[in-house]
């Protein structure tokens, strides 16, 4: 068996996440870490849909890479396994906690740029992520020696095709039109990115004055704006205002925001073409073909993808 599940990383109603070790054939001598999301086949619909979305986004360096799918027999059950890159640096939430929530403006700009590049690719392919939040942004320490990190968008379990019904996602990062009007489209993802960028620079949620009270948060979201951090640059404030435009038809798109002075290459000393070119190298650490984890690769008709 070329792969072994080593450690339980988390789980929920739709599956369990493991840290696994893959022994690359034919020598099996150099083990590599990967993340495996597992679910009983009969309940694997959301994981299977996530795999199909990730396959369409696999060329984007700012989105977690799908390395393959497989099935295994565990405790008498047929289990569907989704193979993903392992994020050595954990999540953006963990990074913010390690900094006591405060990330300097230039670094936050670098991370905002990467989030926008990733979500631009999601939107160009006709998808909406619907659940952008720090726990779903994965961290890969840069290999270029700059001391910063590469961010990749992960967890597409709640993602949808634009125009279809969607899911509200985490309340702290959801947009007013999503919460009150049931509109789950591309502008919703932009609002969530604004929330994350504000949280990076302030060390607290832009809704921190609600003190964790969901009822008060819903009331405030009906009439108030997220709190923009003080002590940040004018460019950063304007960027957040563009993300927090209440009218989703006026809210800036990812494409427009990438040209905003807060994240445009020429205005951020950490961003340059050389940095991005270097990060593009080795984007798929296991090569371009899918790997087999356990026994039999799964086919779309096997996993009852329309069922939960």
The residues carrying an active-site annotation are 131
Cα dist from 272 to 135, 138, 141, 263, 276, whole Å: 27, 22, 17, 11, 7
Cα dist from 108 to 27, 96, 283, whole Å: 42, 11, 22
Interacting residues of 13 by C-beta distance below 8 A, sequence separation 6+:
none
Euclidean distance between CA atoms 269 and 273, whole angstroms: 11
| Helix (H/G/I), strand (E/B), else coil: 117 | helix
Q: Cβ–Cβ contacts within 10 Å for residue 77, how many? A: 11
Structure-block tokens of residue 95: 């990074």
Q: Of 91, 165, 89, 156, give the one whose Cα is nearest residue 119.
A: 156
Euclidean distance between CA atoms 156 and 109, whole angstroms: 24
Q: Strand runs (DSSP E) across 75-172, as ranges?
A: 77-85, 127-128, 137-141, 149-153, 160-161
How do beta strands 149-153 and 137-141 pair?
Answer: antiparallel
Q: Of 155, 147, 139, give the one whose Cα is nearest residue 47.
A: 155
């Amino acid at each position: 068996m070329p792969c072994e599940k080593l450690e339980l990383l988390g789980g929920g109603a739709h599956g369990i996440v493991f840290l696994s070790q893959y022994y690359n054939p034919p020598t099996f001598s150099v083990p590599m870490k990967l993340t495996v999301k597992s679910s009983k086949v009969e309940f694997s619909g959301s994981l299977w849909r996530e795999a199909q979305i990730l396959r369409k986004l696999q060329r984007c360096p700012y989105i977690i890479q799908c390395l393959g799918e497989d099935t295994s027999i565990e405790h008498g059950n047929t289990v569907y396994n989704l193979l993903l890159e392992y994020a050595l640096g954990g999540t953006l939430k963990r990074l913010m906690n390690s900094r006591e929530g405060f990330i300097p403006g230039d670094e936050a700009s670098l991370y905002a740029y990467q989030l926008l590049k990733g979500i631009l690719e999601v939107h160009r392919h006709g998808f909406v992520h619907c659940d952008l939040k720090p726990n779903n942004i994965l961290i890969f320490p840069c290999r270029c020696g700059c001391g910063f990190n590469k961010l990749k968008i992960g967890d597409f379990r709640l993602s949808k095709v634009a125009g279809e019904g969607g899911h509200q996602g985490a309340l702290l990062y959801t947009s007013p039109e999503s919460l009150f009007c049931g509109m789950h489209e591309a502008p919703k993802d932009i609002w969530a990115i604004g929330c994350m960028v504000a949280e990076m620079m302030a060390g607290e949620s832009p809704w921190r004055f609600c003190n964790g009270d969901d009822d008060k948060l819903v009331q405030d979201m009906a009439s108030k704006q997220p709190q923009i951090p003080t002590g940040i640059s004018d460019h950063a404030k304007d960027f957040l205002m563009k993300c927090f435009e209440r009218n989703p038809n006026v809210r800036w798109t990812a494409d427009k925001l990438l040209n905003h002075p807060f994240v445009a290459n020429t205005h951020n000393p950490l961003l340059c073409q050389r940095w991005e070119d270097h990060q593009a190298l080795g984007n798929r650490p296991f090569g371009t073909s899918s790997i087999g984890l356990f026994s039999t690769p799964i086919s779309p008709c096997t996993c009852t993808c329309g069922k939960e």
